[in-house]
Structure 1
Amino acid sequence: MTPQLLIAGGGMGGLAAALAVARAGWAVRLYERAPAFTEVGAGIQLGPNATRILHGWGLEDGLRAVAAFPDRLQVRCALSGAELGVLPLGARALQRYGAPYATVHRADLHALLRRAAEEQAGVHIGLDQGLDAFADDGQAVRLKTARGLEVEGDALLGADGLWSRVRQQLLSDGPPRATGHLAYRAMLRTAALPPALRGPQVTAWLGPRLHVVQYPVRRGEAMNVVAIVHGAVAGEAQDWDHEAHAAGLRHALGAVCAPLRELVDAAPRATLNAHAWRLWALADRPAVSGPHQMARGLVALAGDAAHPMRPYLAQGAGMAIEDAAALAHALAMDAVDVPTRLQRYALARWQRCARVQARSVRNGRVFHAIGLVRLGRDMSIRLLGDKVLDVPWLYRA
């Protein structure tokens, strides 16, 4: 009989896993708690390590139709506006890593993965069916949803995000930790921005205790902007999405340079959404400490459920896509039992994920540095350029 994987969570990681595992010959039943998939107005950067996998799944043309492909990463001082350094992307990324560096609207990538999963034989997607509990007796795993549906499968993947119910039942390690950082996000019409703030590039503005990143999505028709500052929001930590205002962001940014102020001030008239700015309180978990945190018995974790990370290496989606590919490879090992296959998945992933998590935390400290550390950072970028901005160990994997 065809083995069956149950997946809790229909986000990027869940859909990627559904597609990859079905391509490996398993049947997949995915359950998502939301009653419908809705558009979330945020951007995603995909390094060559992720786009290489998407191409391998036959999604190269689909990605090209919705993404932008920046020609460089430019680092600028948020206070003076001066350029600190540049990392060529575009043709150089293709030549060096065999796959492009892409920037894409989260909803567009989600829709691309969803369509591919729905068209793949053996995939069933159930909406409005959030996981309530599961039971693993060593022979099969049984999932029960909040609406009372009960399903049995040969394995369960928890891809249900930062606040994963699968993780809590599996590991009982408590809630995520607050980082003390806030992310203001906006999705803007490129044509409505000042000409100097457009262009096919990723721009990172670095300042004391803050940084801002902007990059094109939707073939360059829209610009994703995210500003990360220090602070906290009132209310429940799990209620991560709040309305925000440009005045609050301007206050948080302080005395930044004129071009960066122009970008923030342009948001209300250039926004693609009902509100120019949305506010997230960022949370994460400590780096994965071993394979036991990614798989036990017939249950495994992937994406943010396994290794939520800070966005300072732009690898949240990339690691979820890598997880999906590694899981499919492990589950295709018919010569060993399912718990062993899941352990091989965890062994293949945990150290790399821990390294990416740790590097993301380190990058946050570097991006937000103050005093002499900030001056040393700026000098290093000026002198060494792409030698400190490129990440070969990550992109070549």
Structure 2
Amino acid sequence: MSRRTLIVGGGIGGLAAALACARAGAQVELFERAREFTEVGAGIQLGPNVVKILHGWGLKDGLAGVAAFPDRLQVRSALSGAELGVLRLGAVAMARYGSPYATIHRADLHGLLLAALKPQAAVQLNLASPVDRFMQQAEGVTLHAADGREVKGDVLVGADGLWSRVRDQLLNDGAPRTTGHLAYRALVPQSSLPERLRSQQVTAWLGPRMHVVQYPVRGGEWLNVVAIVHGQMHGDVENWDHSANPARLRSAMAATCAPLIDLIDAIDHWRLWALSIRPPMRAANEQAHGRVALLGDAAHPMLPYLAQGAGMAIEDADELGRALATESLDVPAALRLYAGRRWQRNARVQAGAIRNGQIFHAGGVVRWGRDAAMKLLGERLLDMPWLYRGV
């Protein structure tokens, strides 16, 4: 059954949805407001739950060519530098979950999805195509583009991110709220760093009111570093990619251990954004209603403290394709199936990420308890079978 699927948003979630729906036999038309497909210079982590889906979509070789596959995730104290716990990745993750743990540049994953879409005759990609609104009817949905065009389809997918216009019209539940957490991001060639600062593993440094995560991307040739501190952004929080003042970050890191200070001092160029959030999902109708589905950050924006924002968008896309391929169901029923299978898992990941942020940034007695528990339990505390096994 060829269902005409209209997708708003050309980020990782939108492209993943287009690929999953095309693989399910849908006719896909995607609308991206930017004049070209781009992704910002930042890395993301892909758990085995996500890598399994990408492999299933035929992207195994392409992913192997651009990602890194760390052997371990190490947690260290940002104050003392002491190792608190280790989660084995690499062959251990492969044996446990059937897929590896990967780290990748966002632009490389975006490019991989785009390259898979371009040869597909059933997919039409529209750039410089902002969308004003949509209308649902019993027999379909009509998308009204900013240039005056009206496009009719069987289903509409809002994959237009945290500040989604599709969500705003569908749910009318207000804007996301800022969290008071600021994220500094940097990507640097490993060859530009002193040998002692280069790394092929994931390292999370935990400290009071801050933490830093570093990991390799681009086959290990580049290092992605994310430092999150408490503070407020002055300016447009919707435009999350701002230039940053390295001196402010270095000041926030002044009380941390020498190895972490050395890493921060070795990087001169940072980008900054304010983290914004919505409450964890409360019902299936926040994921889909009628002929309109929400996907990724448009449905369930996630703080980065479980490293699953892109992962949940890709899981959404895979489930959406499966639901729309169920020929015995009409579109509203297929989307109810999609929402019913996704919203509770997404809500659990949202809540877990919020909780992790509190644990990562804890001070005082809570910090001591966290460190003691991690030293005692190690991998049993860091591994998450409920998440990494997928759905």
For this structure pair, what is the TM-score category when the shorter chain's length is used for normalisation?
over 0.9
Q: Distance in 2 between matches of 1:361 and 1:22?
A: 34
Secondary structure of the residue aligned to 1:325 is helix
1:336 and 2:333 matched: no
Which AA in structure 2 matches 1:110? H
Quick check: 240-249 or 103-112, which moved more? 240-249
Q: Distance in 1 between matches of 2:384 and 2:56?
A: 22
Q: Distance in 1 between matches of 2:12 and 2:38?
A: 13
2:384 alignment partner, one of 368, 391, 397: 391
1:94 and 2:94 matched: yes
Whether the aligned pair in 1 keeps the contact of 2:324 and 2:334 (CA below 8 Å) is: yes
Give the drift of 1:131: 1.2
Please show how residues 220-299 of structure 1 align to structure 2 within 5 Å. Answer: 220-268=220-268, 276-299=269-292
Partner of 2:184: 184
Give the drift of 1:194: 2.1
Partner of 1:305: 298
Which AA in structure 2 matches 1:31? F
1:154 and 2:154 matched: yes
1:179-203 Cα offsets, whole Å, 9 max, x none, are: 1100000001111112222121000
Q: Distance in 1 between matches of 2:79 and 2:227?
A: 14
Partner of 2:112: 112
Give the drift of 1:120: 2.5
TM-score by length of 2: 0.98
Quick check: 5-14 or 35-44, which moved more? 35-44
Partner of 1:272: none
Which AA in structure 1 matches 2:307? A
Q: Distance in 1 between matches of 2:138 and 2:177?
A: 32
Q: Distance in 2 between matches of 1:120 and 1:321?
A: 19
Give the drift of 1:239: 2.3
Instruction: Give me the CA root mean square deviation.
Output: 0.9
Please show how residues 205-220 of structure 1 align to structure 2 within 5 Å. Answer: 205-220=205-220
Give the drift of 1:34: 0.4
Secondary structure of the residue aligned to 2:321 is helix
Q: Which runs of 5+ in 1 are unaligned?
A: 269-275
Whether the aligned pair in 1 keeps the contact of 2:237 and 2:273 (CA below 8 Å) is: no
Give the drift of 1:245: 2.1
Partner of 1:352: 345
Which AA in structure 2 matches 1:369? A
Give the drift of 1:252: 1.8
Secondary structure of the residue aligned to 2:375 is helix
Q: Distance in 2 between matches of 1:190 and 1:24?
A: 40
Whether the aligned pair in 1 keeps the contact of 2:11 and 2:39 (CA below 8 Å) is: no
1:124 and 2:111 matched: no
Q: Distance in 2 between matches of 1:361 and 1:8?
A: 27
Whether the aligned pair in 1 keeps the contact of 2:254 and 2:261 (CA below 8 Å) is: no
1:378 and 2:371 matched: yes
Which AA in structure 1 matches 2:20? A
Which AA in structure 2 matches 1:354? A
Which AA in structure 2 matches 1:359? G
Whether the aligned pair in 1 keeps the contact of 2:199 and 2:223 (CA below 8 Å) is: no
Identity %: 64
Q: Distance in 2 between matches of 1:107 and 1:386?
A: 31
Give the drift of 1:95: 0.4
Give the drift of 1:39: 3.9
